[in-house]
A and B are shown apart, each in its own frame.
Chain A
Amino acid sequence: MPSKPHWSTQFSLTPSDIDALIADLLEGETPLPADVLARRVIELRLERDAQALADRYADLLAYDPTQTYKKGQTIAFQGEQLATGVVTAVESGLDPAGFCGRSYGKFKRMTVDIDGETATYAAGIAEGVVEPSVSDLLTALPGAETMSLDDIMEVNGAKILASVNEALQSNPTLVRLAGKWFVRDLMQDVTVGHLNLAEAVLDIAEGGPLTTAEILEQIGGLGDSPQELQEFSLNYAMNEDERFDEVGPAGEVLWYLKRQEPAEVREKPALLRYTRIDYNRDLLTADMLALEAEVDDELSPFDTVEDVDEATVRLIYAHRRLGTIPLNSHTRAIFPTARRAPRINVTLVDAHDGETYSGWVVNDEQYVYGAAEIYRKYHLPLGAQFTVHRSSTPGHIVIAVPTFRPRVEYVSLMSAKDDRLQFDLQTRHIGAKFDEQMILGIDELAPIEALAKSLTQQKKNLSTVLKLVIPALARLSPQGAAHAKTIYSAVNVLRRCPPGVVLATLEANRDFENVADHYWKLSDA
């Protein structure tokens, strides 16, 4: 018969559990994280169950050979398994009196009925003759808890934690902030004056970021209550105030003055905006899906790849211009994207020289702002590749740009004139790693920007843009065709568009012809 699942597998908080937690919070006057509260609930449950068990077996005596027993008493014996029996007779024992070196003195020989079988045990014997353990009888009784607090948390901790958070969330008495819970009525009063002072403090610090403790110190605190309670109360009040933004990476509360955040962080830049195009993903062949995965555009419908130590980025026009890093399926696992905060302030570290830059993770819009200086420093072209990885310092992300002595490379230079696009192969000195199919150069931005603007204003669809891009690129190859990645890179100079849409449009539209592998040209027909 399968064993019954442990109660903790179907854990849910009862009203009495919540009352006990509120009592703990009131007594401690300190906000506590959900995991501490979850452990406390489990601890209380274990204590309650142990007490119930002790009450249930209150009449049961643990066998202790130095004690004497009477006929009719029930005794628990600990062996490989716990056994309980009723004393049926007590008589004097026969002492070996020194035979084979054994002498027990006076003792009783107690006959016990254990589940219909008779056994005899020593009683009232001197200490040291027998050494059975009687200390942990409760753990061996039927119905006794078999798992410790740590065992339960290890096996079912995630589920319990979710259940605790959910139950506390629906309780109006409690407030949660930065992962900690506290009782609303006990929070310190934070006045408009306090908040105005906090704003001034952040203003002087050029917006931030500052920790709550730093702000509290500069505004002179909230009173005599414990520091942790003051911080929690101020955090709560600032969180409710539109002027402030909580931008700390996971595990750290950092405040920033919203109006001092970079414009590119407060609002998604136009260059990154994508006007959604519906398309049939069934049109994408296995090769196309592989190419889409390789490019790893943040707009592609990929889940975050967990457990990655490093992620590669291929720069497209919008990110290169704005100095942003895409939060694609791999980089999402590197940057602190798990937090629900819309904007998180991080430090970008140049792997080469250790120089640091302020970075902003804009979670909902899938980009990180703040890499422009690094892109400029290494003269990264469109199609350049670099990697990002976590630093051992929390909140620091390392940007590693593979560089070498600049070499002369042939680069497709993109230019525009009179609503026409042109690509010319020219030599340039490149000192960074790049994707050969995605590298593009632009010497004069203004005409390109004018063309992009004109296409947008005329609401030209993607097919029209492709018809503009493909023949211009095809001119550069003897086969008169262009690689899909080059097309994707060039299209993205004119409008933001993920590769899946580009590939599906090429596949669906008879105006385009697949020459070989990923090479496309305009149909002859």
Chain B
Amino acid sequence: MTPPKPSALAKPTLDTPYHIDYDWWPTSGEDLRVVLLRQVPPEFHDMVTAEPADRQIDYIDPRTGRISRVDPLRFALKVAAENPAFINREISVIDCVLRVLLMNDNRPITPRELAALTGYDGQQILRLLSGARVYYGIRPFIT
């Protein structure tokens, strides 16, 4: 069953869906490309920076055959995400959350689901995402 739509004023819960709000980035003073590049394995860095940022390549999901036409940085991220260690306890909670959203093409996801995927405590994730500070533009998904 589809969960009820969250209200903008409602207090977020473990079942509130979150996504990366790309509208947040231009106002944040942070550089999205730099943040994303940090999620890419070091061995890909030179390749990504050497490519024109607007080059288009087809990424083929090796499990389904589904194609995503993406830029080199997104391609590198998708290749990195194939590695089961892409999500691990060595990186911060917020980086884990960001990586999960990137892996899933920014499909909205709840703290409860994030907890299951990352191994971090759901309440800890919720506190982080519902605090005064917005990390990486990750905000409640409100339609």
Contact = CB atoms under 8 A, between A and B. Distances in A.
Contacts of B66: 119-122
B67 A120 contact: yes
Interface stretch (B68-76, B90-98, B118-126): B68-76
Contacts of A79: 64
Nearest to B78: A100
Contacts of B65: 63, 65, 121-122, 125, 130, 132
Contacts of A221: none
A410 interface: no
Given A120-B66, A132-B65, A104 B60 contact: yes
Secondary structure class of chain B's binding surface, majority of residues:
mixed
B51 interface: yes
A188 to B, nearest CB: 61
B128 interface: no
Contact of A122 (B51, B60, B76): B60
A93 interface: yes
Interface residues of A, number: 24
Contacts of B79: 100-102
Contact of B75 (A77, A100, A107, A129): A100
A96 B58 contact: yes
A386 to B, nearest CB: 62
Interface in B7-59: 44, 47, 51, 56-59
Q: Counting chain B CB atoms within 10 Å of each CB, which of A65, A99, A100, A109 scores highest?
A: A100
Secondary structure class of chain A's binding surface, majority of residues:
loop
A109 B60 CA distance: 10
Contacts of B75: 96, 99-100, 102
A130 B44 CA distance: 22
10 contacts: A65-B65, A93-B58, A93-B60, A94-B56, A99-B57, A100-B75, A120-B68, A130-B64, A132-B64, A132-B65
Interface of A: 63, 65, 77, 79, 93-96, 99-102, 104, 107, 109, 119-122, 125, 129-132
Given A79-B64, A122-B65, 11 more contacts: A77-B64, A93-B60, A95-B57, A96-B59, A99-B47, A99-B51, A99-B75, A109-B69, A120-B67, A125-B60, A130-B64
Interface of B: 44, 47, 51, 56-69, 72, 75-76, 79
